[in-house]
Chains A and B, each alone.
Chain A
Amino acid sequence: MNLFFREIKAARRSLILWSIGICFMVVSGMAKYEGLSGTGQSLQQMISEMPKSLQAIMGTGTLDLSTAVGFYAILFTYLQLMAAIHAMMLGANIIAKEERDQTAEFLMAKPISRSQIITAKLSAALANVVIFNLVTLILSITMVSKFSKDGESLTDIYLLMAGMFMLQLIFLAAGSSIAAAGNKPKRAASVGTGILLISYILSLAIDLNENIKLLQYITPFKYFEAKRVVAGGVLDPVFVGLSAIIIIILITLTYVSFRKRDLSV
């Protein structure tokens, strides 16, 4: 339990800074919504008839910019990216920092098993991710409801946040497994970010080209995409299942490889 609180305390400052970042994004983003809400209906219709690849370049997709939720969904794409980076770096650093800062020896000499160490560290990271998600949720709900017209439903936002939470868990697990299984702890965060960037760029490329749509199963950014969630009104069960499997595999990998890890002290 000590270790858990120690980790929470260590991540506190960065969590506060990230929260300020989200706050800035959501508040300043939604504040601009009013100026845009007058978009004509005919333009909206025209955009919806464009080929998918052109929509992707125009940056709107199939989202209806004239509603507050539709506008928020565009903002959500960037929030999702921020959340993924936060989770990935948190997961990688929380495991790798002991070796990086030469404190592994100190920690390992304590009378707790390696599995207990991982459990404490991962639960601390999980708590951070949950707080990150809740801060985003609360800010989003307050800002969107301030600008939405009567009768607009906000359930989409809860759904989007649930999707973002799954994405955060995937990247958290990915970060921790890279740090636990890789042989260079210093590189863990860089490798993780490299993978994250590749999957982000891949998700953009899939928007441009229908032929490589099959690749959407590889990149988590495609799993809970704003336009699909808003249009469907539900998280795709295939992707929820896929995410759960990925998370379980990566967490298991973290435990198994950290237990046998040759720590450099």
Chain B
Amino acid sequence: MNMFLHELKAYRKSTIIWAFSLVAILVLFMSMFPGLTRDAADFKKLLEGYPEGVRKAFGISLESITSLLGFYSYVFAYILLCGSIQAMNLGISILSKESREKTADFLLTKPVKRNQVVTAKLSAALTSLIITNGIYLAAAVIIAMAVSTKPFDIQTFTLISLTAFWVECMFLALGVLVSAVVTRIKSVLPLSLSTVFGFYVLNMFGAVIGEKAIRYLTPFKYYDTAYIIKHSSYETSYIIIEIIVIAGAIAASYMIYAKKDIHAV
């Protein structure tokens, strides 16, 4: 319990900064929503001059993009990106910082098992993510209600917002696994940034070119917002994959960390 509280305290400042930056990004983008709906209304008038077929094909995607949920899912991609960086950073740093900051011998000579160390640190990281997402979700609902002129489906909105947490859990597990496997991590950020941006670029580019197989490769694509908006639920197969990935990564981290050679000085 001491370890858990200590870690929580160590990450307190960064958790608060992350939560408020996420909210700030959301405020910045959502403040443009009213202007966007006006633009869209003008464009719809212009569309009337086009043949029926084109108008139909275009009108539908226009309708979905300029609705609150459609616009939110566009903005949300960037929130997700930032949240994932936070999670990956947390995951990589929380175990590796002991040997980087030369406190490993202090911690590991305490009468606790290594497994207990991992458990305490993992739950602290998870708590930090839950707090960030809690603050974000509360703010997001308030902002959405403030900018929306028409009523929107709040359940779907919450489901979309919560995907950030699910994706972050995957990155957290991945980060912990990386920090358990790699012997010495000099600096966390280059590693976590290149991993998250690697997946992000893969995802963005996959969306442009319409590649199906990429969906399984990048966590960013596991929760397709278009599907959530349509069905108000997640896709079961991806939930199962996520659980398997997380369970595998965490179990492997426990096993590797328990027997790892840790440089004390």
Counting chain A CB atoms within 10 Å of each CB, which of B39, B46, B71, B82 scores highest? Answer: B39
Cα A90 to Cα B211 in complex, Å, equals: 32
Q: Mark B68-96, 1 if CB is under 8 A from A, else 0.
A: 00010010001000100100000000000
Closest chain A residue, CB of each to CB of B204: A78
Closest chain A residue, CB of each to CB of B78: A201
> How many whole Å from A48's CB to the nearest CB in chain B?
12
| A208-B36 in contact given A25-B201, A46-B54, A78-B204 (Cβ < 8 Å) | yes
- Is there contact, CB below 8 Å, between A53 and B201? no
B246 within 8 A of A: no
A93 within 8 A of B: yes
| Interface size bracket, A side | 35 or more
| Segment among A28-36, A122-130, A151-159, A241-249 that sits at the interface with chain B | A28-36
| A42-B35 in contact given A57-B71, A93-B190 (Cβ < 8 Å) | no
A197 within 8 A of B: yes
Which DSSP category, helix, strand, loop or mixed, fits chain B's interface?
Answer: helix
B60 within 8 A of A: no
Number of A-B contacts (CB under 8 A): 87
B50 within 8 A of A: yes
B32 within 8 A of A: yes
Q: Which of B35, B43, B209 contacts A209 (CB 8 A)?
A: B35
Cα A140 to Cα B204 in complex, Å, equals: 19
Cα A33 to Cα B44 in complex, Å, equals: 30
| Segment among A81-89, A105-113, A219-227 that sits at the interface with chain B | A81-89
Q: Which residues of A contact B29 (CB under 8 A)?
A: 205, 208
Q: Which of B32, B187, B193 contacts A205 (CB 8 A)?
A: B32
A74 within 8 A of B: yes
B139 within 8 A of A: no
- Is there contact, CB below 8 Å, between A101 and B28? no
Q: Which residues of A contact B71 (CB under 8 A)?
A: 57
Q: Could you show 24 A-B contacts with beta carbons less than 8 Å apart?
A: A21-B194, A49-B43, A50-B43, A54-B39, A54-B43, A57-B71, A59-B207, A78-B201, A78-B204, A78-B205, A81-B197, A85-B193, A85-B197, A93-B187, A97-B186, A100-B186, A100-B187, A189-B190, A190-B189, A193-B189, A193-B193, A197-B82, A201-B28, A211-B35
